Amino acid sequence: MERIYIGMGSNLAAPAEQLRSAVAALAQLPHSKLVAVSDFYQSDSLLPGQPRYTNAVAALDSTLAPLDLLDALQAIENEQGRERLERWGPRTLDLDILLYGDRLIDEPRLKVPHYHMQERAFVLYPLAELAPADLRLADGRSLTALLAACPFVGLERLTTN
């Protein structure tokens, strides 16, 4: 079993409910155990004119191969009405593999650690709730250093998830 961190986001069709449904689906994945889920956070979209996002991170222990897990996550997205009409467009659900144990993965369909996560407070702060304080990414960067370089700006922690 490897510890995997999954970033979750939604800005359409009752975003908090979308994340709750995704958590329920993650708990049912084969060869996997849902370990924990961060608080939910709201943030502005990276692109103007879109609704605000609700984001969280889930910790999962799994023996699924990385691409098999990616396929399972994309199936969950599709079941929840995800349409891939435009890059970074509004979405009912986005599930991203942020970290997969201590692996560096560079496949055409999957890059781990997740690209740009170091610039996204809506990823780093929920991740920090679940990850060990001394977490180092497979590329050597520490979560502590990433947090220090990415201030908690534009985020609103929601009281319930």
Q: Which of 20, 39, 87, 91 is catalytic?
A: 91
Q: Which of 3, 61, 82, 84 is catalytic?
A: 82
**Bond preceding residue 113 cis, omega within 30 of 0:** yes
- 82 is known as an active-site residue: yes
- 139 is known as an active-site residue: no
Would you say 55 and 43 are in contact if contact means Cβ atoms under 8 Å apart?
Answer: yes
Q: Which of 20, 52, 94, 139 is catalytic?
A: 94
DSSP one-letter code for 81:
T
Q: Which of 52, 87, 96, 136 is catalytic?
A: 96
Q: Classify 146 as helix, strand or coil.
A: helix
Would you say 38 and 161 are in contact if contact means Cβ atoms under 8 Å apart?
Answer: yes
Q: Which residues are catalytic?
A: 82, 91, 94, 96
